[in-house]
Amino acid sequence: MSYEFKFPDIGEGLTEGEIVRWLVKEGDEIKEGQPLVEVETDKALAEIPSPKTGVILKLLAKEKEIIKVGQVIVVFGEKGEAVATEPPPSKPGSVGVVGELEEAPEEPAPPEVKPAPEKPSFVSPHALATPAVRALAKELGVDIEKVKGGGSEGRVTEKDVREAAAGKARLPEPEKKPAKVKKYDFYGYIDHIPLRGVRRAIAKAMVKSKYTAPHVTAMDEADVTALWGIKEKEKKNAEKKGIKLTILPFIIKAVIAGLKEHPYLNASLDDENEEIILKKYFNIGVATDTPEGLMVPVVKNADDKSILQLAEELTRLAEKARNRTIDLADMKGGTFTITNYGAVGGMYGTPIINHPEVAILGVGRMKETPVVMDGKVETRKMLFLSLSFDHRVVDGAEAARFLNMIIARLEDPDLILLES
């Protein structure tokens, strides 16, 4: 008997994925647990195992196709079994999906009844909704101005939008003709690159963050001359243990000290319930440049780890991200993110918050800079920092104090060592 396998939810909040490569073909015999298909989801590659032993009767999705959670992607069966043919399309006027129902004879029109006066409704020309809910409505094709709000004071919630989307009539889409792809425009030849995989995930995340959180960026610099000396001194000892020591673990420790004093930067905002969620744990995401695009592995419980432990874990996670073997769990649960764009150049930036977090620290290139100290000009190693934060949760003064705490520890590494 045939068995339909639906694309499962393999990650927190997952709604869709892209078929990268089928590891089987129709007619193959497969065992339970054997690799079935590679799917790209939320910036990571996931290998989906077969849920049962049997024969592949039909593959219902093509490579490079976007599939939704709950969508049937493969049909299993027994050897020699044929796939059941699809039912013929319904006749006009009939209803039902599996079969057809005979049309009922037309009934006389009911007598005209005057409509009762409409009851007051929460629907208004200007629906109350957060930017995130409006963005969701736009994505799902729902006219938010026609959605009845179920929240406080008639506010339209995410649940209202999703219910409206689910209740929309499923009309048959007209057959689409293949679009002609132009190889040139008015000025010359062009290439068309599908927005897929990691780049597609990045695009969606960036749009959601920018349209949800009002970004503000504060910038400053830190004199890391002393810290750099400590890092260089301990670098060889770390190498003997097979650990690559950089300045990043020290920055993570400085950030955690700041987050403990300013917990509103280690938080998220629940728009629907209008609550600020303060996180009492410190999971630090580190944006990593890979050939496929930007990924953000997360160091869990970073406050419990030493400088060398952080360095070792950062190296391991970065390597897994670059060769696409990182697990989805390693990219979830972040409370604050650091992006070190200075590793490839650039002093200041305006990094986009890794939603639903509240802030992100951009680390620029370290540069030897002439600085006046005690009336004398000295060459110092300066590190340039950019802190983007959600102004709904954090005010500029608090962000500045947080940044000052980070700078104080980077300029006086003994504070970091005392707190570790």
In degrees to the nearest 10, what's the CA dihedral of 132, 299, 42, 135?
10
Among candidate residues 126, 215, 355, 391, the one labeled active-site is: 391
Whether the CA torsion 207, 331, 313, 293 is positive or negative: it is: negative
φ, ψ of residue 220 in degrees (nearest 5): -160, 180
Q: What is the DSSP letter of 342?
A: G
Neighbours of 339 (CB within 10 A): 23
Half-sphere exposure of 333 (CA within 13 A, CB side): 14
φ, ψ of residue 249 in degrees (nearest 5): -60, -35
Is there a catalytic annotation at residue 262? no
Pairwise CA distance, residues 134 & 208, whole Å: 11
Neighbours of 142 (CB within 10 A): 23
* N-to-C CA span, the chain: 61
Structure tokens at 69: 């959670």
φ, ψ of residue 56 in degrees (nearest 5): -75, 110
Neighbours of 401 (CB within 10 A): 13
Adjacent-strand bridge partners of 278: 267
Pairwise CA distance, residues 297 & 315, whole Å: 11
Q: What is the DSSP letter of 357?
A: B
Q: Say if CB 246 and CB 231 are below 8 A apart.
A: yes
Pairwise CA distance, residues 178 & 180, whole Å: 6
| Cis? peptide before 356, omega within 30° of 0 | yes
Active site residues: 391
